[in-house]
Amino acid sequence: MENNITLLIEEAETIKWLLIALVCIGFLLLSVFCLVVWMLYVAGTAMLSQQGEKIFRVQAEDFLCKNEAAELLEHCNDRLNTHPNDIWAHWYLGQANFNISAWRESKRNFERVLEIDPSWFHTIETWLEKIEEKTSESGPKLVE
């Protein structure tokens, strides 16, 4: 009888450790699963953001080519509401304002591009020169 009780205690002890091991393994698997899901979410969010930027630029270029300044202005302002430092939104906004002869706004947009990324200087310089020419032809120079 004493042997049976000792055997039962040993089996209960073994079962206890097996249950503890199963809980630990389950917790580890759950942790790994959560980590993988989180990594996929982060990667997916980054891809969606990149796709959003590409879609924005394609649509902006389309509005620009069709000379649809009002639509381009709205498109850029919508983008800037959610992405205030989007260099491409400021770039296209500068061109849209230039196309409707809104020189001061165009200059402000192009200068904002330079604030965000000074490496755009050679691209922006031409636009700023054109704005200066337009304003000197039509009257007094822009005052800062």
Instruction: Using the predicted structure, report yes or no on whether residue 40 has a pLDDT greater than 90.
Output: no
- Of the listed ranges 32-46, 52-66, 85-99, 100-114, the least confidently predicted one is 32-46
Q: What is the CATH number of domain 2-138?
A: 1.25.40.10
pLDDT of residue 140: 53
Q: Tokens for 38?
A: 């989180």
Q: Answer yes or no: pTM beyond 0.75.
A: no
Tell me the average pLDDT across 106-132: 96
- Cα gap 100→131, rounded to integer Å: 12
What ranges do the domains of the chain cover?
Answer: 2-138
CB atoms within 10 A of CB 31: 10
Cα angle value 20/34/21 (rounded, 5°): 10
**Mean pLDDT for the chain?**
89
Q: What is the distance between the alpha carbons of residues 85 and 99, in angstroms, rounded to a whole number? A: 22
Report which of residues 47 and 132 the model is more confident about.
132
Q: What is the pLDDT of residues 72-103, one digit of tens each?
A: 999 999 999 999 999 999 999 999 999 999 99
- Residue 117: the pLDDT is 96
Question: Is residue 139 pLDDT above 70, yes or no?
Answer: no
Q: What percent of the chain has pLDDT over 90?
A: 62
Q: What is the pLDDT of residue 136?
A: 87
Geometric angle at alpha carbon 14, from 13 and 18, rounded to 5°: 120
In the predicted model, is pLDDT for residue 50 greater than 80?
A: no
- Percentages (nearest 5) of helix, strand, coil residues in the chain: 90, 0, 10
